[in-house]
Chain A
C-alpha cells in the first residue's frame, strides 16, 4: 500500500498523520509502439491453420523496442510516473530482478515478472515529485512561528503533545475505526511534582512511563470519536496530577518492600555497621545516640553508605562489588 506521511505542526501542537490508501483503480496506460504496420499473419481467433482464407485473424504486431531505450538520462521522470501505477518493465530503465533465484542461478528479470507487479512501488514519489507536492501545498499552510526554532523551546512552551492518525482510503466507506486513537505524551520533568507526588504518579501510571526518556504516554481508544478520546486523555492527565499530590492516610503504611529505591537510614546495614564500630571502639564510650551520630559523620562510614546504596540500587557488578570491598576494608580498618 503506498502511503504518504506528512506531519504538520499547528499551533496547539496536534499532529495529523495522513495517509493515502491505494485502492484506486489502476490507470491503464496504452502502449504505443512504433511497430511496423504490415505484420505477418498470426493465428488468432478461429482455428485457421494457415492464415489464408476468410477468417484471418487480426495480424499481430511486433512488440518493438521498449521505451527504456529511448529515455534520456535527464528526462522528466514525473512525466513517466505521474501517479501511483503498477510496475511497467518497459518504462523503467533499471535492471531490477526479483524473486527466488533459479537453482544455481539468479532471480528472474523484470520482464514479465509478476512479483514486481504485485508489490507496491513508490516510483511516483521521487524527491522531485515530493518537492512539487510541497510547492503545491504551500499556499494552504501557515508560517511556522519563528520563536520556536529549537526542540527545547517547543518542549518548554508546549509540553503536552497529542498525536492522532488520519486515514484515507478509496473504498466504500470513508471511516476508519483506528482514527479514534489518541496518544498523549508529556515529560514528567515539565510537571510540577515533588518527591512524594512523583513516586505516587509512577506507581499509578505503571507501564505507561518510560524511564529513559522521562515521557509519560497515555493512549486512549475507549471512546468512539477522536474528540471524546482527546477529552478523556486530558481528563486523565489532570486527575493523575491532582491525585499524586494528595496524601492518603493509608499511604503512611508504606513498608520497606514497597519502596522504589534503597534507603540506607534505618536499614539493617546501618545497624550492623554501627554495632560493629561501637564494639570496636573502647568499651567505655557507651551506647548512646551521640556516639552513633558521631560515627555516622565519619568519612569511612559515608563511603560505606554510598557503596551499599549503589550496590542495592544499581545491582551487582564487578565495579560495585569492588567499591563495596574497599569501603568495608576501610571501615573495619583491615
Chain B
C-alpha cells in the first residue's frame, strides 16, 4: 500500500533513545487530531500514544520496518530509507543508528548519532559546551553530528601505530564552527575504545580569574592554583573511574612533612588526596600527568592515553593573573600550565593528543584571528610542531539541512514561518550556516 505512510518506531530496545515521534498517516486519519502536531513537545504523552499505535500497526502490518516518509506541512519522519525510495529525497535522513563512533564512516556524514546516556555522565562531566549541555537537557538526548573533521581524526587514530610518539591533532576554525563538538566526538570514540581520556575542557580558565594563587611548595618560582586544580581533579575522577584502581604509581611522592604517597599505590588514592588536600592539589595534578605520561605506551600498560585540551593556545598566551607586585604572571610560572605543556610534547607513546584552538576565551587576542600560527604564537607553534591541523568549517548545505531537520523534528522551531522555504532561506542568510549562530537564532523561533 504505497499511500500508507506508517512510521514505525525505532527498535524500542535502543538504549535510551526515546524520541517523540510524530505520526501522520492517511490510514489512521481519525487519529490525526490526537496525534496531530502538538504545540508543545510532550515526550511522554506522544510516546505513550506511539506505543499504542505501534502495537496497532504491528498487528496490522507486522512486516513493515521502513517507510517512505510523507512530506507534511509541519514535521517529517525519517528512518533509514530504502535505497530505491531515497534517491529522490536524499536530505531527509538526518539520524543514523551507528551510535558507536568506531563504526561511523563517510556515508554517515551529516547525520546525527546519539551518545548513549550511559556515556554522557562519565565522559562529559565538564567537557561539553554550555549551550549544548542545555540543549541536551531540553531534548533529553545528546545528538552529535558526524562531520568530516572529526571523522578524519578518528580514522587517523584507528590507523596509528601506538609504539610511535603520540600524534598531535589540532582543530581550528572560525568562531562557532564546532571545534569543541568535534573534540567531544573524538573523545567519545576514544572512550568507546577503552582509552583513558585526560580532558581539559578549557585551558583558558587556568589563565584568568584566579582567586587564590599560592607559591608552589615544589618549586618556589612557580605558582599554584588550588581551586582550579581541585575542580579538575574531581572531574577527572569521574571520567577515569575504571582506571583509578588499575594504574599504580611508580615513584614515591612527598607532599608535606607528614604526607607522602608510596610507590605502587593506585592512582585513585592520589586523586583523592589531591581533592582532599587542596593546598597540594596542583602538585597532585602534575604527578598524575607525569604518571600517565610515563606509563602509557609501556609494554605492561593496559590503557591508551588520550589527551584532549580545549583552547590549547592558552598555554602559550598571556595571562591576566597578577602577582603581588602587580606584574603579570608568565604561563610557565603556573604549575598547572607547566605540567600540561610537558604533556603536550610528543615524547611519550601509546596515545594521542587532540586539541582545539579557541579565540573565544583567549586573552589579548583580537576577535578575527583563528589560524593556528596567529593564535599559538611563535613559541606555541614551535612547541606543537609537527602537528596535523584540521580545519573545521561552517555547515555545508547537507549538514545544514540535517541540523534544520533535527530541530524541526525536536519541535525546537515553533515559529510557523520557520517551516517554510523562505523562512529557511532567511535562517541561512542570518546565520551564514555557522552552527552556533544557527543554534542561537533557532532559540528564538
Contacts and interface: CB of A to CB of B under 8 A. Distances in A.
B346 A276 contact: yes
B370 to A, nearest CB: 10
Interface string A308-334: 100110001110010011001101101
A304 B164 contact: no
B159 interface: yes
A308 B383 CA distance: 14
B324 interface: no
A268 interface: yes
Interface stretch (B37-45, B307-315, B385-393): B385-393
Nearest to B163: A280
Nearest to A281: B164
A304 B389 contact: no
Nearest to A334: B156
B165 A304 contact: no
Interface residues of A, number: 24
A316 B372 contact: yes
B167 interface: yes
A215 interface: no
Contacts of B391: 318, 321
B347 interface: yes
B363 interface: no
B128 to A, nearest CB: 27
A280 B165 contact: yes
A334 B388 contact: yes
Contact of A272 (B156, B159, B372, B382): B382
B135 interface: no
B385 A269 contact: yes
B371 A329 contact: no
Contact of A328 (B160, B374, B388): B388
A308 B160 CA distance: 23
Contacts of A334: 156, 159-160, 167, 388
Interface string B159-199: 11000110100000000000000000000000000000000
A317 B160 CA distance: 28
B386 A273 contact: yes
A324 B164 CA distance: 20
Identify whether the interface residues of B are mostly helix, strand, loop, or mixed: mixed
A316 B374 contact: yes
Contacts of B390: 325
Contacts of B167: 332, 334
Contact of B386 (A279, A318, A321, A332): A332
B219 interface: no
A212 B387 CA distance: 34
B36 to A, nearest CB: 48
A276 B382 contact: no
Given A279-B165, A334-B156, A316 B373 contact: yes
Contacts of A324: 389
Contacts of B346: 276
A257 to B, nearest CB: 9
Nearest to B160: A334
Contacts of A311: 373
A281 to B, nearest CB: 9
Interface string B318-360: 0000000000000000000000000000110100000000000
B388 A268 contact: no
- Most chain B beta-carbon contacts within 10 A, residue among A304, A312, A325: A325
A325 B389 CA distance: 6
B320 to A, nearest CB: 26
Contacts of B164: 279-280, 332
Contacts of A328: 386-388
6 contacts: A272-B385, A276-B165, A276-B346, A311-B373, A316-B372, A321-B389
Interface of A: 267-269, 272-273, 275-276, 279-280, 304, 308, 311-312, 316-318, 321, 324-325, 328-329, 331-332, 334
Interface of B: 156, 159-160, 164-165, 167, 346-347, 349, 371-374, 382-383, 385-391
Given A272-B382, A276-B386, A332-B386, 6 more contacts: A268-B383, A272-B385, A273-B386, A321-B371, A325-B390, A334-B156
